[in-house]
Amino acid sequence: MHKRHFLKTTSAVLALTGLLAAGVAHAQNKAIKFQLDWRFEGPSALFLQPAAKGYFKDAGLDVTIDAGNGSGATVTRVASGTYDMGFADMAALMEFHANNPDAPNKPVAVMMVYNNSPAAVLALKKSGIKTPADLSGKKLGAPVFDSGRKAFPIFEKANGVSNVTWTAMDPPLRETMLVRGDVDAITGFSFTSILNLEARGVANADIVVMPFADNGVKLYGNAIIASPKMLKENPAAVKAFLAAFAKGAKEVIANPEAAIAVVKERDGIINTALETRRLKLAIDSVVASPDARREGFGRINDGRMALMASQVSDAYKTKTRVDVKAVWDGSAMPDAAVLDILPKAKK
């Protein structure tokens, strides 16, 4: 009798211990609020894939991914503590740092995703513009906050362009005004403006694209950013996030057609064919670019980053100079094997 009572008691204690352990494990699932740079489009599959496949959850993370409305806003929201992490243009992050030197919680970049800025100058062949030199004396158009427009002084200097005048417009009118002839050229993300021009009846063969990266301007593009508070208090969660992200991103790069399904799940009205093209263009031009292959996915080159910091300080006319050591923290980066996600270069 006593033996049976002992066994029952022991079993109950073990069961309770197991429940408590499970409860503790569940409680330790770190909640992370993550904001994208833009709405749910093809490239957001890089983040939605690891979420949909449960890779974040498997890493002990409870990740919420929200659409954004511009890199500047994403940086500000991570700085305010509204979001723990985000996806934003490196130049926008640098600008925030240099214009808010006393801000108590300046986000830092922890992994490079777009090794090259997607910024480009686009024109129509009928304009006679073929090279950057042809832009001198021309009228360019872009929203005032467009990253290509803000960084254009760097492009201008690198290519000897002069006497450019600017016309501002809301983003939906950018390509329309180029087609109408209201401006001679525009700046924008290449993989967005090309598709927008095609949607307005322009044949791909009639579009002139001058990527910044191919014309002497080696700016980094979008990076994953994190709040210093999170990096300090829970570096393991940041590292787990980056590793899970890399696992999902590898699948997206290998099979973008299949990955678009996870974007469709978040926004049912997207055009699947269009967003598949956008994702492929992004992968080819800025994720798996020659520079990314040379430096390694997720990583940066210190000299190149230092040059960018100086160029952004000048082009953006920031209040203080960008401190390159303050905008990048690679301490949570996964090891090389985890970051080996780029396919072999096409011959």
pLDDT of the residue at 315:
96
Asked which of 148, 181, 214 is the last residue of a domain, the reply is 214
What percent of the chain shows pLDDT beyond 90? 90
What average pLDDT does the structure give for the chain? 92
Q: Are residues 140 and 248 in the same domain?
A: no
Mean pLDDT of the region 76-81: 97
Mean pLDDT of the region 182-197: 96
pLDDT of the residue at 345:
76
List, for residues 126-139, the tens digit of each pLDDT value.
Answer: 999 999 999 999 99
pLDDT of the residue at 6:
43
Q: Are residues 103 and 231 in the same domain?
A: yes
Domain region containing 225? 30-116+220-339
Mean pLDDT of the region 96-101: 98
For the chain, what is the domain count?
2
Asked which of 214, 245, 277 is the last residue of a domain, the reply is 214
Asked which of 214, 249, 278 is the last residue of a domain, the reply is 214
Tallying the residues shown for the chain, one arrives at 347
pLDDT of the residue at 188:
96
On whether residue 7 sits in a domain, the answer given is no
Backbone angles phi, psi at 208, to 5 degrees: -100, 120
Q: Are residues 165 and 90 in the same domain?
A: no
pLDDT of the residue at 305:
98
Q: Are residues 241 and 324 in the same domain?
A: yes
pLDDT at 25 over 50: no
On whether residue 139 sits in a domain, the answer given is yes
Q: Are residues 131 and 46 in the same domain?
A: no
pLDDT at 3 over 50: no
Distance CA 303, CA 311 (A): 12
Mean pLDDT of the region 175-180: 98
CA 218 to chain centre: 16
What is the torsional sign of CA 49, 193, 155, 148?
A: negative
Distance CA 13, CA 53 (A): 35
Q: Are residues 206 and 229 in the same domain?
A: no
Distance CA 80, CA 37 (A): 16
pLDDT of the residue at 330:
96
Lowest-confidence region among 4-8, 22-26, 90-94, 185-189:
22-26
On whether residue 5 sits in a domain, the answer given is no
CA Rg value for the chain? 23
pLDDT of the residue at 7:
42
CA 29 to chain centre: 25
Inter-helix orientation angle 45-52/256-266, to 10°: 80
Locate 158 and state its tokens.
């690198």
Mean pLDDT of the region 174-188: 98
List, for residues 249-276, the tens digit of each pLDDT value.
Answer: 999 999 999 999 999 999 999 999 999 9
pLDDT of the residue at 29:
83
Backbone angles phi, psi at 293, to 5 degrees: -65, -35
Mean pLDDT of the region 302-331: 97
CB neighbours (10 Å) of residue 254? 13
Backbone angles phi, psi at 166, to 5 degrees: -115, 145
Distance CA 260, CA 92 (A): 27
State the pLDDT confidence band at 22, using cuts at 50, 70 and 90.
Answer: very low
State the pLDDT confidence band at 347, using cuts at 50, 70 and 90.
Answer: low
More confident residue, 14 or 254: 254
Distance CA 190, CA 118 (A): 6
Nearest-10 Cα torsion for 303, 192, 195, 219: -10
Mean pLDDT of the region 91-111: 97
More confident residue, 12 or 222: 222
